Amino acid sequence: MLTRRHFIQTTTALFSASISGPLLADTWPTEAQKAAWDAQVTPPGYDPATSNPWGVHPRFLPQRVVAKDGLVPGDIHVDAVARYLYHIEEGGTAMRYGVAIARGKLYEPGTYTIKRKVKWPHWQPTQNMIDRDPELYADIADGMEPGPENALGSRALYLYVGNRDTYLRIHGTPHPSSIGGRASSGCVRMIMAHINDLYPNVQTGSTAFLYSAEDSVVRQS
């Protein structure tokens, strides 16, 4: 049986090695539990284009838009100014979602590869996060089990540079009111019902472009 001490030691070792596989955890949710959580974070009668129990600005609801010429289907583009994520589709369209990005200088523009996808992931704050705000992370420094209150929410897309895990994610959030703002410690946040829709359409190996404010999709228009 995996003890709590061994779990912490093993998890620390895995993070130090820039893992490419799933973290060890105290518990693993069953498929039935995942389905129950999905139902919990999905509004009754959910319509992506109109359902808005979160009270976000209507422009942050999912919308199919015309994509710019030359963009590769399957890739993701994150606009730091408008707070949009675009998933490029075949036929010259894209699905657009509202997001929150990192606060201050924690936002890291760049080109990343999505090398992992996880439903109802586990999460552990990085050492940098703990160092910046030890009181905030004191009770969860060893990690959080999956569930609707987990910081990564219902789905996570893991961003890599080469084989290095950057610890940046595109993920669901238990704080939908943050959408449209700058709130995270580096990741791109989405409403859980929205990333649940996006998730099955994203393939591992796809590219994610996180644009700076100077080079955002909007400013290139």
6 as an active site residue: the answer is no
For residues 137 and 125, the answer to whether their CB atoms sit within 8 Å is yes
Name the one residue in this structure whose structure tokens are 């942050």. Answer: 60
Distances in whole angstroms, Cα of residue 214 to Cα of each of 24, 78, 101, 183: 39, 13, 15, 19
Burial of 83 (0-12, 13-18, 19+ CB in 10 A): buried
Give me the catalytic one of 77, 87, 122, 171.
171
Q: What is the C-alpha separation between 72 and 207, in angstroms, rounded?
A: 9
Query: Please, are residues 117 and 155 in contact by the beta-carbon 8 Å criterion?
Result: yes
Counting every residue, how long is the chain? 221
Q: Catalytic residue numbers?
A: 171, 187
